[in-house]
Structure 1
């Protein structure tokens, strides 16, 4: 009888672990979808010069490193957009991978970007990494860095 109880207890523990792992997996998938949707919304806001919307998504401690090596903080990035110094005409993202680590999400992807800056239009193929953190229930971008992919 003791062996039956131990066997039953063992199987119940295994079933509990499987459900707990599946629940964690489902939660991570939902977070990945949420962050991915926010990332696409951010790209749309950049194209439409929606600096008010971007201001809510960008963390106050943002470090934004462009493909040319220029580093901007949040206020500089928004000012550049607002004053039309840089105009994003299109941003198409592909090959996106998202890793969720606690209250942080790291995105690695490839994007094709058409941007007007310094008096010329540039078509760039970029590999990028960005980091979002969840603060007070909202995801905010705190880091972006991109590198041109040579054709």
Structure 2
């Protein structure tokens, strides 16, 4: 009898684990889509991956909404030549994903070459089966 009761519990745990890993894979892909769209300056891809209520925070304290974020990338005002992400973690709670990583990038903002090394927090919301970037906040890496 105990074995019969244990079987449904194990099945539920396996199903939850599978769903969690499937969502983690989808969020990982969404982060990659965002990274690529930022490097390419791809307006359609940036708009597709961003939530309409996006709050995009820069390490200097500037905040942008979706239109400003997309416009600054597409115009080259904020130009990422190369973006490397490392140390990424993903935590999923319901239809929300919290992503943290380190971002190292080569930039050419307004034609001025530079580099950035940031810690980034992304908040993704699942809408209609798609993960959309809802919020982003970057901070400068502490000097050691």
Partner residue of 2:9 out of 17, 21, 26: 17
Q: CA deviation at 1:74?
A: 0.3
Distance in 2 between residues matched to 1:116 and 1:82, nearest whole Å: 13
Alignment of 1:88-103 (within 5 A): 88-103=80-95
Cα distance between partner residues in 2 of 1:118 and 1:50: 17
CA RMSD of aligned residues (A): 1.3
**Residue from 21, 28, 37 that aligns with 1:29:** 21
Contact 2:101 2:120 in 1 (8 A): yes
Give the one of 73, 78, 98 matched to 1:81.
Answer: 73
* CA displacement, residues 81-125 of structure 1 (integer Å, 9 cap, x when unaligned): 222211111111111110111111110111112222255322121
TM-score of the aligned structures, taking structure 2 as reference length: 0.93
TM-score (norm 1): 0.89
Query: Unpaired segments of 5 or more residues in structure 1?
Result: 1-7
1:72 aligns with 2:64: yes
Q: How many residues align?
A: 143
| Aligned residue number for residue 125 of structure 1 | 117
Q: Distance in 2 between matches of 1:60 and 1:73?
A: 8
The structure having more radius of gyration, on CA atoms, is: 1
Whole-angstrom distance in 1 between the partners of 2:108 and 2:5: 59
8 Å CA contact 2:79, 2:110 repeated in 1: no
